[in-house]
Structure formats: structure tokens, C-alpha cells
Amino acid sequence: MAKRYLVLEDGSTYEGTAFGAEDTGVGELVFNTGMTGYQESITDQSYNGEILMFTYPLIGNYGITFDDNESVTPTTAGVVVHEVARLASNWRNQMSLDEFLKQHHIPGISGLDTRAITKKIRAHGTMKSVLVNSIADAEAILAQGMKPAPKDLVLKSTTKNGYPNPNTGKRIVVVDFGLKHSILRELAKRNCNVVVMPATATAAQILNYKPDGVLLSNGPGDPKDVQGAATMIRTVERTVPLFGICLGHQLFALANGADTFKMKFGHRGFNHPVREIATNRIDFTAQNHGYAVAADSVANTDLLVTHEEINDQTIEGLRHKKYPAFSVQFHPDAAPGPHDASHLFDEFLESITSYQREPVRLSALAVSSDGHP
């Protein structure tokens, strides 16, 4: 079997066995602690430009099912596993992980001690990395130096043209910064009449659809690289109820005067405990992000912190004090992951109903200290 090498920017080189495409993979090395959900993770546009390493030791054992894709064209830069399954056992299986990666030109490497490498990343932080097929290629790349992550990841992930996901309920515009299909599934369960618009959409273009509410999706990269989003959000949140998820949460924070920072190694997995401050309710959540909202930047804004991550106390939720707008850092769509937080989609629709009953009162909303009107 062919050899392949994972090379980190500090010069560390790991030899393993190639699977997937023969292409070279270039991107930041990040780790995911989920025990399942490898397909959903690989097809999540939030991993655009990243080499994705799984800590669970066996990946690919239930194959690939097209219904579980989170995007049509995955943009993950590479996949690192301890062991890739030779056979897939699942009645829904339609192709192997190896075949799927080849189809999408994503290189993979197996046979590495992924947990040891994860400990290295946790100690030293996320590192730029490459997947190459020869030591000579590795040495050449190290000699040249590894390039920083591109700043146009959202533009590479978003739809180029708007499209509908029609139904008979509330009219929701979803701004696609790197949309997961599971968000559309959750809205469809609630009969929402959805229009998906590109990340470059202006407030005027969005509001032209006369939406009942606007949802800001997840997506890849540094939120500060997303041009025009802050201006759009400041206009939209004054007009209709708004809900931000993951990158959408970070953009909501930036638009309202808070700041964001790059985390040492981020949150990527499906078992992150989050506390709702007002009720002390604990939800186990799916997460995939390398940036977070800076806690000390919220105090002088019109934002209220509603949720926090129990392990490291990072901000996991925000609500606007004046407008019917809120956001969460985690994925309430939970694909894959626990469904503890799916009620947030219902809360979004309830906020729309309340706003439509009393728009004047809610547009001047003053939120009490416990985070609830």
C-alpha cells in the first residue's frame, strides 16, 4: 500500500498509509472528538481549508450515505485517521469512505497515532500542515514555508445564487456563509418557507423578500474576514427577528460591537456541555469552530450573554437587549450530535410570532438581567 506523510509546520513528520485521493492536502490541522458523524463532518463547509483529524480510532465503518451530506461539494483539505475501515456494515451504505474521498479529490492518511497528535495540538495550538506522497515533497514544502489560511473561505463556501426551499409556513431568509443542510432540514420540519441567499447579500436584497425572520448560518474561517456582513446584520436586526448559528453568532457579535479571537485549538465534537445562564439548563451540543467571542468585549454593548461552555467558560450564546435577535455558538441542528438544543429553532419561530403581534414593543425591547424579556 502506498505511503503518505503528514507534515506539520514545526517540522514534525508522520508516516502513514494513503487512502482517498492522490492530491496534496494543505490546511490547518484540527481534531474532532466525535465517535460517529465522520461523513457529516467531512461535508461540513466549516472545515473548508482544514485537514480534519479524528480522535476516534476507527473511521469509515458504516460507509457513506448521500442523505447524510451537509453540503454537495465538500471542501475539507484532508482526512487523518488511526484506522480506516476496510468494510462498511450498514444497510444505508452506498459507497466506502475511500471511494467518497477519491470522488471529491480529498486525500486521506491512516495508521497514525491520532490521539498523540491531538495532545500535541492541544499543547501547542492549531498548526498549518500538509498531506504529501513523498518525503521529498515534505522537505520542499518545509523549506518554502507554509502559507497562512486564505481569507476568502466564506466566498468559496457560499452559494453563488439564491435558491428556495419552499413550504407553507414562516418565510425565512437563510444567509449562507457555509450552510449545513441540517439547518434546512430543521426549518423544513417546522414548515418554514425558506430562501437561501449568498453571503454577499445586502440588507436591501434580503429584506426585499419580505422575510418573517433571518437566519445567519455557520461557515469557515475568521469572522473578521467576512466583508459587509456587519452592515447587513445591523440593518436586518432592527427590522425582523434574527438568529445566528456558529459563524453567524460571531458575525452577530462583531456587528454589535463585541470582538472575536482565535482559540488555541477550538471546539470540534458532539459532546460539549453548554449552560443556559438564566435557567441553569445544561445541553450537550455539537460544535465546530476555531474562533470565539471575547468575553471582556461584551460589557459595553447591547448584547447579553445567555449561554456559556462549562469546560472553558467561553461564550456560547448572545441576545440583543433591544431587538428580537439572538445567536448561539453551537449547532442546534445537531447533525451529527445530541438533539438537546433543537428547541432553539422553535424559540426563533416563537420570537417571530411575538414580534408580529407587538412589533413596536419588541423593537424597543429591554431585556432583564436573567436574559429573558
363 marked ligand binding residue? no
Phi and psi at 46, nearest 5°, equal -65, -15
297 marked ligand binding residue? no
Phi and psi at 81, nearest 5°, equal -140, 160
Look up residue 311 and give its three cell numbers: 469546560
C-alpha to C-alpha distances, 93 to 66, 100, 182, nearest whole angstrom:
9, 12, 19
Phi and psi at 230, nearest 5°, equal -60, -45
pLDDT averaged per 10 residues in sequence order, the chain, 373 residues: 93 95 94 95 96 97 96 96 95 97 98 97 94 89 82 96 96 98 97 98 97 98 96 97 98 98 95 96 96 97 98 97 97 90 96 85 42 38
291 marked ligand binding residue? yes
Please work out, in degrees rounded to the nearest 5, the angle formed at the alpha carbon of residue 289 by the alpha carbons of 69 and 262: 150
162 marked ligand binding residue? no
46 marked ligand binding residue? yes
Alpha-helical (H) ranges within the chain are: 38-42, 97-103, 114-124, 135-144, 153-157, 181-189, 203-207, 229-236, 247-255, 343-357, 359-363
Provide CB contacts within 8 A for 49, sequence distance 6+.
27, 28, 75, 77, 149, 150, 153, 156, 220, 221
Which CATH class for the 3-144 domain?
Answer: alpha beta
Bridge partners of 343, per DSSP, are none
| Number of other CB atoms surrounding residue 346 within 10 Å | 12
Look up residue 119 and give its three cell numbers: 495532545
pLDDT digits (tens, 9 = 90+) for 70-109: 999 999 999 999 999 989 999 999 999 999 999 999 999 9
250 marked ligand binding residue? yes
Q: Which CATH architecture has domain 153-363?
A: 3-Layer(aba) Sandwich (3.40)
pLDDT of residue 141: 82
pLDDT digits (tens, 9 = 90+) for 114-159: 999 999 999 999 999 999 999 888 888 888 888 888 899 999 999 9
Q: Catalytic residues, which ones? A: 246, 331, 333
- Cα dihedral across residues 25, 28, 31, 32: positive or negative: negative
In the chain, where are the structural domains located?
3-144, 153-363
